[in-house]
Structure 1
Amino acid sequence: MSMSSSALSRHGLERRRSQLNDLHRFLAQQEQTFVTLREQVQAFVDRYTSNLGEHYLELDALESQLHCATHYLAEALRRNGIEVPLPRAPQATALPVLPQLPTGTALPAPPEAGQVELAPPSLKTLYRRAAMRMHPDFAASTVERQRREQAMMTVNEAYAANNRTQLEALLLAAGESPLRVMGGNADAMQTWLTRSEQMVQGRLRVVQAHLIALQAHPMHQLWQAIAQAELKGLDPLCVMANRLRSQIQERRRELYIGQRLLPESSLAQAFLRRRVERMGVAPMAGAASSQQARRSAPAEQTL
């Protein structure tokens, strides 16, 4: 390997290390973006829960009682020979769960003598360096020329015999840098850089996927919608709370009727049919139940 190719190899490794550092800084920025956004959305979730949580709990309790009442009516009708479907059991309103970024893995330790980045020079390169140092034409005196002629003979013999060890010893004795003679850990450095790049890029894909999931989360979208409405002077959470109160009153009335219906009456069948239709409107979706989606939709439409 020539001196110029060694310099290029070293420059290439330095460039890759610089690129790895830039990539690592970008990863840290993306991680901080996720953490900041999640904290903002979580603050909204806490506010949302504080304003509406009690209403959802009360509504869940009423739905549970209604299910017991309608289940009793359905069983009574079946005992009387009237085949009716059982209403589906209500699902409790689930608390919103935001994506959580998994813990990252630390990069592997760089190879020892991390600043040494030159590959071992070739035998021809060693010979040229030895010739530059010991050639008789560079002698300053007759005595120096004779010494250089003797040394150059030894260099030529070592090169002809492919004796790398002797050439290295001659250069080191002449004051050549051990790094330029023996080379460094370029192969180990390249392996470390490749592995580190793969780890950082893999982690970056994970972080960006979680950031996209967080931005697409229903609570993030609801937070943005409510924030925009509040900038216009509106109070969406208050509107949603009022709608939940209205639903609570409706469920109370429905429960009052359901607990007092006689199983043999036609009203009982109509009551049960409406209950089955309402509970079977929407399937379960994700972490939130159809019941939660049904309750939230009227309030969110006011935004």
Structure 2
Amino acid sequence: MISQAITPRELDRRREQLVDLQRYLADQEREYAELRRRVQGFIDRYVATLGPLYMELDALESQLYCAMRYLHEALARNGLDTRGPDSPKATAMPQLLVLPAGAPLPPEPEGGLIQVGPPPLKTLYRRAAKRLHPDLAPDDAERGRRERKMAEVNEAYATSDRARLESLLLAAGESMVKVRGGDADAVMEWLRSTERAVQGRLRVVQAHIALLTNHQMHALGESVERAEKKGLDPLGIMANRLRAQITERRQELYIGQRLQPESSLTEAFLRQREQRLGGGLSAARAP
């Protein structure tokens, strides 16, 4: 029986709200997928164009670190206190977070949402006839059994004996929900819990859309696209800047690997490099 506090109209309204919410969630997930596809597409271009140059620059920085470390330690042994070089850090290539898979929705109550209240007596009679009609019997023995059962069905229907008709249907294999109706309270609770699950998923999807929208590669990608429409080549310019840095590091490495710790040029070289990196060389002669 439908709970007096829950009307069929209210159930229908909540079902429609749930369908609308799920439709909106699907739209948001499609928006996320399309946005991620665009941003990831630009990241792939960015990495393909600049990734090898960054790797080469990182390798040179590692070699420079070893050379500078050697000079620093050699100067320290000679009584000159210098600031040691900072350990190099590999350039991190941009990556996107992956939207986690959504949790499965709560299972629907038995019988789903098709029939909530108990069906009318006439519906029960028709269902009994479909299950027990003698013409559906595969043999004479079964036909005789069905004829006896149908006689009971006809009598129960004629006397409006709902309990007996339900009992005959259940014995014939009909589901409890189709015979006695669903639980409106259970259906409403399913609707509420499903709404909460869909809303939770929606918040996760929208949070990832916001992360993508605010991602630095999204802004950079849009800037690059606008520049390219004007005939410019911003990725090419960035690549040329990296090549210039690579050339500079190669020159520094060439000098650093050939300097002798006893040379007066060594301290000046370290000082110049520290200033370029934004630091300073703290030097004090030991007494």
Q: TM-score, normalised by structure 2?
A: 0.71
The aligned residue for residue 116 of structure 1 is 115
The aligned residue for residue 253 of structure 2 is 255
Looking at structure 2, the residues matched to 76 and 90 of structure 1 have their Cα atoms a distance apart, in angstroms, of 20
Further displaced range: 25-34 or 109-118: 109-118
Q: Percent identity?
A: 55
Matched, 1:42 2:40: yes
Looking at structure 2, the residues matched to 42 and 252 of structure 1 have their Cα atoms a distance apart, in angstroms, of 32
CA offsets per residue over residues 62-82 of structure 1, 9 Å max, x none? 111111111111000111111
Match of 2:188 among 187, 190, 215: 190
Deviation at 1:250, TM superposition (A): 0.9
- Say if 1:64 and 1:90, in contact at 8 Å, map to a contact too: yes
The aligned residue for residue 236 of structure 1 is 234
- Say if 1:24 and 1:200, in contact at 8 Å, map to a contact too: yes
Looking at structure 1, the residues matched to 202 and 13 of structure 2 have their Cα atoms a distance apart, in angstroms, of 20
Mark the runs of 5 or more structure 2 residues left unpaired by the alignment.
119-158, 166-175, 280-287
The aligned residue for residue 269 of structure 1 is 267
Q: TM-score, normalised by structure 1?
A: 0.68
Deviation at 1:239, TM superposition (A): 0.8
Deviation at 1:33, TM superposition (A): 1.2
Deviation at 1:253, TM superposition (A): 1.1
The aligned residue for residue 15 of structure 2 is 17
- Say if 1:71 and 1:86, in contact at 8 Å, map to a contact too: yes
Looking at structure 2, the residues matched to 92 and 278 of structure 1 have their Cα atoms a distance apart, in angstroms, of 19
Looking at structure 2, the residues matched to 41 and 48 of structure 1 have their Cα atoms a distance apart, in angstroms, of 10
CA offsets per residue over residues 31-83 of structure 1, 9 Å max, x none? 11111111111111111111112211111111111111111110001111111
Matched, 1:89 2:87: yes
Looking at structure 1, the residues matched to 68 and 35 of structure 2 have their Cα atoms a distance apart, in angstroms, of 44
CA offsets per residue over residues 98-153 of structure 1, 9 Å max, x none? 1210011121221112223349xxxxxxxxxxxxxxxxxxxxxxxxxxxxxxxxxx
For 2:250, the aligned partner's letter is R
Looking at structure 1, the residues matched to 2 and 105 of structure 2 have their Cα atoms a distance apart, in angstroms, of 33
Deviation at 1:170, TM superposition (A): 6.5
Matched, 1:30 2:31: no
- Say if 2:61 and 2:249, in contact at 8 Å, map to a contact too: yes
Looking at structure 1, the residues matched to 55 and 72 of structure 2 have their Cα atoms a distance apart, in angstroms, of 26
For 2:76, the aligned partner's letter is R
SS of alignment partner, residue 86 of structure 2: coil
